[in-house]
Every structure is written in structure tokens, then in C-alpha cells.
Amino acid sequence: MARVAIVTGGTRGIGEAISLALKDMGVTVAANYAGNDEKAKAFSDRTGIAAFKFDVGDFDATQAGVKAIEEAIGPVDIVVNNAGITRDGTLLKMTYDMWDDVIRTNLGGCFNLAKATFPGMRDRKWGRIVNIGSINGQAGQYGQVNYAAAKSGIHGFTKALAQEGARFGVTVNAIAPGYIDTDMVAAVPADVLEKIVAKIPVGRLGQASEIARGVAFLCSEEGGFVTGSTLSINGGQHMY
């Protein structure tokens, strides 16, 4: 019987690439999305992957969303916490809502999905959780105290939960992407983007498929001895 995976933010950008990579592995994928019904339908029509709408930052909505997925597809074996938002601004200009929105979605979403799925993985003695962090959670970034804090929190969350899951066959890992060629990065002004690329030793932006391949390995049977790790995929931009 095929494994079942939830990929949050799984219908666009890096999330879409992850959903497709897991499907190619023979996994039955449920792609979560938050708002754009039209694009989610187009994604499902194009890929054959079912899309489920709920706000990962809302605890009750996430519990209900996971229950709906399990009723429709089966018990969840794999969770990829990819959903994330930005509300950038320096601390002097950042409102509490800008702070809270990002922490609630980017970090709170990891807790909410794990709370809904980790007990079942533990009971069945097999599970994979992969949390998508960021180079900016490792190195910091001007104007992103909210985003950097949330992503840095993901890395700590990963290490702690990995210790709870290890003896039950549940691995918990993180991936910290660098600058990836997505719609979000494409919106950066050309002159700014040129300066960003100049700081990447390999001399280019990453591709969403490169992140997806890392996720696929960590979610595989072969990845069972890797837990509590953060895999940096950033073209050498930040090494530590």
C-alpha cells in the first residue's frame, strides 16, 4: 500500500515540486493550500494530485483538514511543512500583526501539522516529517526579524521533535533552501537579484526541483538513519 503524504503549500513553487517528486516515488500526495482556489484546481487537473484547503496557522482548521485527508486517502505517513509567508519590514516599521502572521503560519503550522499526525506515525512505528527552513533562518536577513525568527525556530523544533520520534521509526529533518528561482524571487527587482546571485558561489539561483530531491531522499526508506538534521541547499552561500 502506498505511503500517504501531506505537503503544505503544495500546489505552487517549491511545494509543487515537492508534491510531484513524492508522487514520482509512488507516494499518494495530498497538497494543502490556503487561498487560491483557481490555481489549486489547475494544479490538481494538471498533476492528478488532490488539493485540500485549510489554514495551517489555525490549529482547529488543521486538525479538521488532516482528518479529511485521512478519511479520503488514508493515514498520513509523511508530512512536509513547506507553507510559508513573508511580511517584511524593519523592526521599527513592523507591526505586531506582521510579526504574528509570520510566526503563526511559518512556525505554528509545523506544530499544528505535527500535532495532528505525529501520534499516528508513532503508533504505526514509521513516519517522516520534513520542515522547510531557510538560509535566512540560519544567517539572518535585514528587514526580516519575523521570518528569520520563524525559520530559525523551525530548525530548533526539528531537533527537539527528532529526539521524540527516533525510537519509534519517525524521522524529523529540515531543509534550509537558499535563493530559489520561484515567483517570489522573480518579483525581486533585477538589480537587487543580480547582487544576490553575485553572492552565491555556484553563480546561479537554485531550482525548486533541487529542493524536492532533498525532500524525497529524507522521506524515503533509505533516509531512515537521518534525523534531527538540517540539509542546507543554497549553492554555498552560507556554510557552517
Residues marked as catalytic: 147
Among candidates 9, 22, 180, 211, which has minimal Cα distance to 109? 9
Give me 195's grid cell: 547582487
User: Is the CB of residue 4 less than 8 Å from the CB of residue 74?
Assistant: yes
Among candidates 36, 61, 68, which has minimal Cα distance to 112? 61
Gap between the Cα atoms of 38 and 50, Å rounded? 13
Gap between the Cα atoms of 63 and 41, Å rounded? 22
Taking the alpha carbons at both ends of the chain, their separation in whole angstroms is: 40
